[in-house]
């Protein structure tokens, strides 16, 4: 089971039981195991600053993941979600804000688990896992 901590600095608070349900959905598909995860929900300014500092991109993004370097550690890493961007994307894609938050959490955790979308073949694998998790299967 994944233990987690949420630091929600922006937006409407999402209950821990909802985060737990989302993480359980992820764990059923990719078997995270007994790991620790931090989740932060931030505003535009914080996300822009983090993206510029750590990725060299001076723009707001929807989600960032920062993994633990040591393979021996139980700490998986941190997923940072931009609250205003999640709300905008939910409207754009015509689904609920909760669905968008789950989608961003799934995306971030998959990155922490080593998945990426830099090349088409890898992107297909990651998207397939995202779809499977989002459908709860």
Q: What is the pTM of this model?
A: 0.90
Instruction: Give residue 71's pLDDT.
Output: 60
Q: β-strand 63-67 against 75-82: which pairing, if any? A: antiparallel
Pick the CATH number of 3-134 from 3.40.50.720, 3.90.1150.10, 3.40.50.1820, 3.40.390.30: 3.40.390.30
CB 78 within 8 A of CB 45: no
Instruction: Give residue 123's pLDDT.
Output: 76
CA distance 72 to 83: 32
Domain positions in the chain = 3-134
pLDDT per 10-residue tile (average), the chain, 137 residues: 86 92 90 89 96 95 86 84 96 94 94 81 84 81
């Amino acid at each position: 089971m994944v233990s987690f901590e949420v630091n929600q600095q922006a937006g409407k608070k999402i209950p821990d039981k909802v985060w737990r349900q989302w993480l359980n959905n992820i764990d059923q598909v990719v078997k995270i195991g007994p790991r620790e995860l931090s989740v932060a929900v931030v505003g535009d300014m914080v996300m822009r600053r983090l993206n510029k500092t750590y990725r060299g991109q001076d723009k707001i993004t929807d989600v960032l993941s920062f993994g633990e370097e040591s393979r021996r550690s139980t700490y998986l890493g941190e997923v940072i979600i931009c609250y205003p961007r999640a709300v905008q994307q939910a409207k754009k894609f015509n689904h609920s804000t909760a669905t968008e938050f789950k989608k961003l959490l799934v995306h971030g955790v998959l990155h922490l688990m080593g998945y990426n979308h830099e090349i088409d073949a890898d992107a297909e694998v990651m998207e397939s896992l995202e779809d499977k998790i989002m459908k709860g299967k």
